[in-house]
Every structure is written in structure tokens, then in C-alpha cells.
Amino acid sequence: MSLRIRLSRVGAKKQPSYRIVVADSSAPRDGSFIAILGHYNPLTDPYTLKVDEERAVSWLKKGAQPSETARGLLNKAGVITAFEAVRKDQAQKPRFSAEEAKARREARATRTEPPRLVRPARKDGEAPVAAATTTRKPAAKAGARARPAARSGASKSAGSKSAGSKSAGSKSAAPTRRRTTAKKPA
């Protein structure tokens, strides 16, 4: 799933107004979206552009890619410059000091035994816990009917239908009844 910051059209016929939204790249233009970052109305003079800068920067940090139009609007709103400043600050700040980094490297180098898999402790007298295996039993699909047992050949031939006619012995050929209205005596 790749995230896109793009425009979603709202407004009446021949009066477009747009939302700036975060959406999945496979979602339709006016379809589902994850978050609304702002709105843009090109019909007002001058145009109206409002963007929540904090939310937009946080979505850009999470990896949302703006479309060309959305990038231009975010640039006009000052969001792109704020995002680049945040990225530079993160790149300049080390996650931990040089001394900490050196201590971590040395600790990794002195490790003599490989990391062990931690298993839950068992109580006295219990059997060891076996690894969970997934064994599938042949089960009927949900909603599927069970097939009846083998039919005899005689019932099969008696129950079969010939082309266009219904046999008298067939279960599916139920006699049709006409509704008759009883006339009341005068």
C-alpha cells in the first residue's frame, strides 16, 4: 500500500472545490481517503488554500508521496520547506552519542553465545511444549452441502428427467394444482 497526498474533488457541477487528502494510491479520485489535510478553492479571487501544516509534515515523514498538483499547493502553503527543515534536523542529530555507539559495538563483539529462543517455562511434571504445527483436516467448505450416500441405479434412472418432460416418479416433478374458486349458491 503506497500513500499519496492528492486532491479529491468536491463541490457542485461546474464549481469545483478540492480537498487535500491522504489516500491509498489505488483508491479512486473521489473515493475513500485516510485523512483530510486541507482544502483548495480555485474559484475565489484570490484562490483559497488552507493546509494543516503539522499533519501534512507528519504524513510526509511517514512516506506519503504528493502528486504534482498537491506538491505545488503544499509548496505554496510552506509545508514542503517545513518538511525539508525537519528532515535536515533529523539527519544532523545522531540517535546516540559516539561513546554510546562505541560501547554498543564492543558489547556486540564480546557476545560469545548466539541469541537464544526464549520459551515459556514449564511446570514440574508437564510434558514439553511441542512446536505448534498447522495440520489441516479436510473440512467441507462453509455453506457446502454434504453429498448423500451412494444411490442405487434404479432410483437414479427413475429420478432422471428426459428432455422437456417430467417423469411421474421424480421428486422434483410435483403435481401443480389450480386454485379453484367455489361458487356460492344463490
pLDDT tens, 4-53?
A: 999 999 999 999 999 999 999 888 888 889 999 999 999 999 999 999 99
Tell me the percentage of the chain whose pLDDT exceeds 90. 39
| pLDDT score at 67 | 94
Q: At a CB cut-off of 8 Å and minimum separation 6, what does 20 contact?
A: 5, 6, 7, 8, 36, 37, 38, 39, 40, 51, 56, 70, 73, 74
**Is the pLDDT confidence value at 57 over 90?**
yes
- Give CA–CA dist 122/74, Å, rounded: 58
Mean pLDDT of the chain: 77
Domain boundaries in the chain?
A: 3-91
Nearest by Cα to 79 from 70, 88, 68: 70
Integer-rounded Cα radius of gyration of the chain: 36
More confident residue, 173 or 156: 173
Nearest by Cα to 20 from 57, 66, 58: 66
**Is the pLDDT confidence value at 155 over 80?**
no
> Does residue 56 contact residue 36 with C-beta atoms inside 8 Å?
no
- Give CA–CA dist 183/153, Å, rounded: 48
Architecture of the CATH domain 3-91: 2-Layer Sandwich (3.30)
